[in-house]
Amino acid sequence: MTVRLAQIVEALGGELVGDPRTPVSRLASLASAGPEALSFAVSARYEAALRASAAGVLLVPPALREAAAPQAALIVDPHPYLYYARLTQWWRERERASQPMPTVHPSAVVDPSATLGPGVSIGPFAVIEAGASIGEGAVVGAHTVVERSAEVGPRTRLAPRVVLGAGCRMGARGVVHSGVVIGADGFGFAPLEGTWVKIEQLGAVRIGDDVEIGANCTIDRGALDDTVIEDGVKLDNLIHIAHNVHIGAYTAMAGCAAVAGSARIGRGCTIGGDAKILGHLTLADGVHISACSVVTRSITQPGTYSGFFPIDSHAEWEKNAASLRSLHKLRERVRALEIELKNKT
């Protein structure tokens, strides 16, 4: 796909400096861009990399205009990172427009009682069960299963090999990547004389609009009430959301994070990769958890919270870990020294 620089600026704005007919056939990083590519720098910090770049078009903030102008055609915009995000969307949309028209693949199994909106695309071997509904312009990938009475909102894209469980709801304009399982049973058992009696999970999963869910995530259905994910939440890969969790709007979680049952996370939080939230806790709006930290108590104040063991050479770590195992005794020894010294005075 090749476009002219002028087409980009016409669609997305910004100031064009140089030849509007400059062709752009891909977007690239400063280091890998050639004359056929558009690249970008968000701040003066990237000036050296920018000067070394062979990009044919550069997207820069006003502060880099002078540095960049001699070597390439420019788009000058006060928010180049945001401009870049929108440019990637525009680019992807154009690529998609060149692909075949949406259609229901003849191999898909669609129950006659399912509702398909106009312009939906249903991939090979997809299964749409009884009473399910697929909103206008939604995409259901190959091998994806939309179970009984589940709902997919307008323009949402389910990648190949997703399961949306019975009665679960995915909102509009969402993206669900491959391998995601929405609506498996929450982990609930009543103990009985050393064995476990299953508690059937009768709730569902309700997911808002503009939500993205990364590959191989699992979001369990609620025990009685629903598991809820509000609008604009973004989940990276391999995240586990247990039953009856509630995640507030626009919260983002990085890869391998997990939230145990009935925890409630506020709006606008960020949860670092591999961070874990234990069950039944509440996190306020605007809480930021560092990667690999374990949240064991509710957090009522916004702010950044951390807790993981610092890495070191194995030999140093081993000595410190050994000392750590008797830390409370060390504390007592210091207390004893303080008292002894005080008594001497």
**Pick from 43, 89, 113, 300: which binds a copy of itself (CB under 8 A)?**
89
> Is 243 known to be catalytic?
yes
Hey, what amino acid is at 106? P
Please state the closest distance from residue 229 (CB atom) to a copy of itself, in A: 14
Q: In whole angstroms, what is the distance from residue 6 CA to residue 14 CA?
A: 10
Tell me the β-bridge partners of 109: 127
> Among 65, 67, 69, 185, which residue interacts with a copy of itself (rule: CB under 8 A)?
185
Q: Under the criterion CB under 8 A, does residue 256 sit at the interface with a copy of itself?
A: yes
Token match 């004389």: residue?
193
Among 69, 278, 298, 302, binds a copy of itself (CB under 8 A): 278
Q: Which of 13, 15, 21, 29 binds a copy of itself (CB under 8 A)?
A: 29
Tokens 């399912």, located at residue: 114
CA 226 to chain centre: 21
Rounded (10°) CA dihedral 131, 134, 140, 144: -20
Q: Applying CB under 8 A, does 82 fall inside the site for a copy of itself?
A: yes
Judged by beta carbon, residue 66 or residue 258, the one nearer a copy of itself is 258
Residues within window 31-50 making contact with a copy of itself, judged by CB under 8 A: 31-32, 39
Q: How far is the CB of 31 from a copy of itself (least distance, A)?
A: 8
Q: Which is nearer to a copy of itself, 114 or 159 (CB)?
A: 159
Catalytic residue among 79, 243, 280, 288: 243
Stretch that binds a copy of itself, among 6-14, 45-53, 59-67, 256-264 (CB under 8 A): 256-264
Segment interacting with a copy of itself, rule: CB under 8 A, options 11-19, 54-62, 65-73, 122-130:
122-130
Tally of residues, the chain = 345
**Distance between CA atoms of residues 245 and 242, nearest Å:** 6
How far is residue 40 from each of residues 51, 52, 67, 179, measured CA to CA in Å? 12, 12, 13, 33
Footprint (CB under 8 A) of a copy of itself, residues 290-329: 290-297, 303-314, 316-328
Interacting residue with a copy of itself among 117, 225, 282, 298 (CB under 8 A): 225
Q: Is 134 near a copy of itself (CB under 8 A)?
A: no
How many other CB atoms are found less than 10 A from the CB of residue 86?
14
Q: How far apart are CA 217 and CA 255, in angstroms?
A: 9
Residue with tokens 């997809």: 126
Residue 199 binding a copy of itself, by CB under 8 A: yes
Count of chain residues binding a copy of itself (CB under 8 A): 124
Query: In the complex with a copy of itself, which residue's Cβ is closer, 2 or 70?
Result: 2
CB atoms within 10 A of CB 146: 30
Q: Name residue 200's beta-bridge partners.
A: none
Stretch that binds a copy of itself, among 7-15, 61-69, 81-89, 132-140 (CB under 8 A): 81-89
Rounded CA-CA distance 88/2 in Å is: 14
Q: Which amino acid is at 18?
A: G
Taking the chain, what is the end-to-end CA distance rounded to the nearest angstrom?
A: 84
Stretch touching a copy of itself by CB under 8 A, among 45-53, 58-66, 113-121, 253-261: 253-261
Catalytic residue annotation:
243
